[in-house]
Chains A and B, each alone.
Chain A
Amino acid sequence: MATTATPTWQQAHDALQALKEQLDTACTDATDSSICDEIDQRADAVDDALTAMNQQDMASRTVQIQAAAADLVKPLKDLDQLKAEIEAIGNDAKKAAAALAKVDQIVGGVKTCFGLAL
């Protein structure tokens, strides 16, 4: 008893691809426009099928790509943390400069208030 195995996605794609190339070549080589018109209709159907298969192939990786994007979150957060810590070193100097600028005002105020001579 003969068994008919279901073709794999790639086998089906390969068969359609070979058919498309035959039809495209036949149209390119045809000298009669009516032959080209006949081929066009069939070639369009093959094109649509191949495009649908390629779309299906792209979609098959979308879940994996979404998972890879999720895997990026923690390392990116850790890297952002390091960036923030490096920026904080600069911010400490900025805060010190701001504090020193206020020292003058505060000391001046204290001197006036309590009549101190520093």
Chain B
Amino acid sequence: MGLCAMLLALVTLAGCSVSPMVKRASAFATAATAAAKDTTNAYALVEQTHHDAEVQAMIANFDKEGFHPEKIKPFMSAQDMTARTKILDGLSKYAETLAYIGGDQPMTDFDTQAEALGKSLQDLSATGSIGAFLQSSNVTGVDVNLATTAVDALGRALIEHKRSRELPALLKEMNGPITQICALLEADIGDPEKSGLRNQLKNDYETLKRRQITFIRDNEGKMSVSDKRALLEELAKMADDEAAGDKTLAATQAALKQLAATHAALAESGNAKEAPVFRTMLSELMNDSQQLQGFYSKLPAQ
């Protein structure tokens, strides 16, 4: 009993509560998962709108060219999209592993194993073939419980020690790639007038609206007032969807920028007890992310 009690006391003194850095890494993982998902949605939104524009082009040219669905092409080539999917998968994998390491799961898993170990010890001392031997050595059920608690505390302390010692260096190692990935994805989202997904979304919506106007002008003599009204309402909705889509892409772009800055603050904070800069950045990032989830779920293309 003396040894177990001493072990327990040592472990308690060493401290096995989760370090602030590990908690920060876990919180960042949640934000990184959301950013990867939002960016995937950004590509999907532009692809869907481009597909709609291509379908409308085929319909508009049907009388001259006939039905040719094979002419409908995605905006991104398979090779370009695969590279993006791979990098976003890498970002998600990073977040997932970070969430496991920084989360409660390792501790919960260890508790389960320690509990199984305690049960084995109890079985051995109570009813097993060497129970009599243990009892003759004055090993009681209380001792076994204490030993189990000590093993559990020791395991928890070992896990905590390992992750708080090794995680800061790994976060620093990851900082360069994260900064680069976010910058490249931000560039992909681009600018509504100049380049990238935002420009393509704007152009595809402008084309959709132009085709709608042409259709109304060409056929207004043959359509009822209510049909014309319905088509004009569709046109107004396209303009709303275009504005909402661009706002969402801009917010995704801002979230990627914030993700890189937040990761840099996380890597910089190391094992510091307090990290106010990281905390503020993470809070903003989480807030942006929640708004984005709302945007993407409301968009017609999703």
B128 and A107 contact, CB distance less than 8 A: yes
Chain A contact residues, CB within 8 Å of chain B:
10, 13-14, 17, 20-21, 23-24, 27-28, 30-33, 36-37, 39-40, 43-44, 47, 50-51, 54-55, 57-59, 61-62, 64-66, 68-69, 71-72, 74-76, 78-80, 82-83, 85-87, 89-94, 96-98, 100-101, 103-104, 107-108, 111, 118
A89 and B159 contact, CB distance less than 8 A: yes
Q: Cβ of B132: which chain A residues have Cβ within 8 Å of it?
A: 118
A71, A72, A94 pick with most chain B CB within 10 angstroms: A72
Q: Which residues of B from 54 to 93 have beta carbons under 8 Å from A?
A: 57, 60, 75-77, 79-80, 83-84, 86-87, 90, 93
Select which of A28, A47, A72, A87 is within 8 A of B94 by beta carbon: A72
Select which of B75, B93, B166, B181 is within 8 A of A68 by beta carbon: B181
Q: How far is the CB of A91 from chain B (nearest CB, A)?
A: 7
A79 and B97 contact, CB distance less than 8 A: yes
Select which of B60, B162, B180, B206 is within 8 A of A85 by beta carbon: B162
Interface CB pairs A-B, < 8 A, 21: A17-B193, A20-B206, A40-B210, A43-B207, A51-B50, A51-B200, A59-B79, A68-B87, A68-B177, A72-B94, A75-B170, A76-B94, A82-B167, A89-B158, A90-B106, A90-B110, A90-B112, A93-B113, A93-B114, A94-B113, A108-B128
Q: Cβ of B101: which chain A residues have Cβ within 8 Å of it?
A: 79, 82-83, 86
Select which of B75, B100, B177 is within 8 A of A71 by beta carbon: B177
A81 and B233 CA atoms in complex are apart in Å by 57
A91 and B214 CA atoms in complex are apart in Å by 69
Select which of B119, B155, B190 is within 8 A of A89 by beta carbon: B155
Q: Which residues of B from 142 to 180 have beta carbons under 8 Å from A?
A: 151, 155, 158-159, 162-163, 166-167, 170, 173-174, 176-177, 180
Q: How far is the CB of B97 from chain A (nearest CB, A)?
A: 5
Q: Cβ of B124: which chain A residues have Cβ within 8 Å of it?
A: 100, 103-104
Q: Which residues of B from 90 to 129 have beta carbons under 8 Å from A?
A: 90, 93-94, 97-98, 100-101, 106, 109-110, 112-114, 116-117, 119-121, 123-124, 128-129
Q: Cβ of B188: which chain A residues have Cβ within 8 Å of it?
A: 58, 61
Select which of B177, B203, B217 is within 8 A of A33 by beta carbon: B217
Given A47-B207, A75-B173, A83-B101, A65:B113 Cβ within 8 A? no
Given A24-B210, A36-B217, A97-B120, A61:B129 Cβ within 8 A? no
A61 and B34 CA atoms in complex are apart in Å by 23
B213 and A61 contact, CB distance less than 8 A: no
A69 and B90 contact, CB distance less than 8 A: yes
A77 and B173 CA atoms in complex are apart in Å by 11
Looking at chain A's contact residues, the main secondary structure is helix
A52 and B218 CA atoms in complex are apart in Å by 29
Q: Cβ of A103: which chain B residues have Cβ within 8 Å of it?
A: 124, 128, 130
With A39-B210, A43-B210, A82-B167 given, name 18 new contacts (CB 8 A): A10-B194, A21-B206, A30-B217, A33-B214, A36-B213, A37-B218, A40-B211, A51-B50, A54-B200, A58-B80, A62-B80, A64-B184, A65-B83, A65-B84, A66-B86, A68-B184, A82-B163, A90-B159
